Amino acid sequence: MERKMSSSNSPCAACKFLRRKCTQECVFAPYFPPDNPQKFTNVHKVFSASNVAKLLNELNASHREDAVNSLAYEVEYRLRDPVYGCVGLISILQHKLKQV
Amino acid sequence: MERKMSSSNSPCAACKFLRRKCTQECVFAPYFPPDNPQKFTNVHKVFSASNVAKLLNELNASHREDAVNSLAYEVEYRLRDPVYGCVGLISILQHKLKQV
């Protein structure tokens, strides 16, 4: 995936938040553009930057965008429902499937 | 919830892993007993101990067990499927519901 930051010369949202230099090798930059800081701060709040970096580094580059999207999805539900997160949705879907 | 560690006098799995004193006020102890160290290390690996502590401290004590269980559920899927985690299961369930 092409680095999006190169066009703006801005550090990515993760590096900006973490106050560090955003290099060409930054594992966050393709998925956390500077114009959406909330996406990173939310993911960092739930999973922590170091865990996300570790996960991304363990994945093939072609899988990283899907991984970030699924993390962001889990985060969205966890922030909305701190007790059950997206597991609440799984319960609802499983219940609906049993009913049909 | 009654502290389980008091009977064994062992620090909980979290305090043992983090090498810190397990006090009566430990927020992890009721949910991470010393006889199941894997449960804590897995949750720590995905969410990090500090985020879990923050989440638990923000919740009413009566909701904490459900919260830990839902985190452990998400962790189980994330370790099994690092790209999609339990969001993969949500997709499958939603797809099945559309089919019926």
Minimal CA separation from A4 to chain B, in Å:
22
Q: pLDDT tier at B100 (50, 70, 90 boundaries)?
A: confident
Domain ranges of chain A: 13-99
Structure tokens at A37: 């800081």
Report pLDDT digits (tens) over B37-64: 999 999 999 999 999 999 999 999 999 9
Please tell me the predicted confidence (pLDDT) of residue A4. Answer: 47
Tell me what the pLDDT averaged over chain A comes to: 93
Chosen for mutation from A46, A69, A99 (greatest number of chain B CBs closer than 10 Å) is A46
Average pLDDT over residues A11-24: 96
Q: pLDDT tier at B1 (50, 70, 90 boundaries)?
A: very low
Chosen for mutation from A42, A60, A86 (greatest number of chain B CBs closer than 10 Å) is A86
Is the pLDDT reported for residue A1 higher than 80? Answer: no
Per-residue 3-state assignment (H helix, E strand, C coil) for chain B: CCCCHHHHCCCCHHHHHHCCCCCCCCCCCCCCCCCCHHHHHHHHHHHCHHHHHHHHHHCCHHHHHHHHHHHHHHHHHHHHCCCCHHHHHHHHHHHHHHHC
Nearest by CB to B70, which of A45, A71, A87? A87
Q: Alpha-carbon distance B47 to B44, whole Å? A: 5
Please tell me the predicted confidence (pLDDT) of residue A9. Answer: 74
Average pLDDT over residues A54-65: 97
Please tell me the predicted confidence (pLDDT) of residue B8. Answer: 57
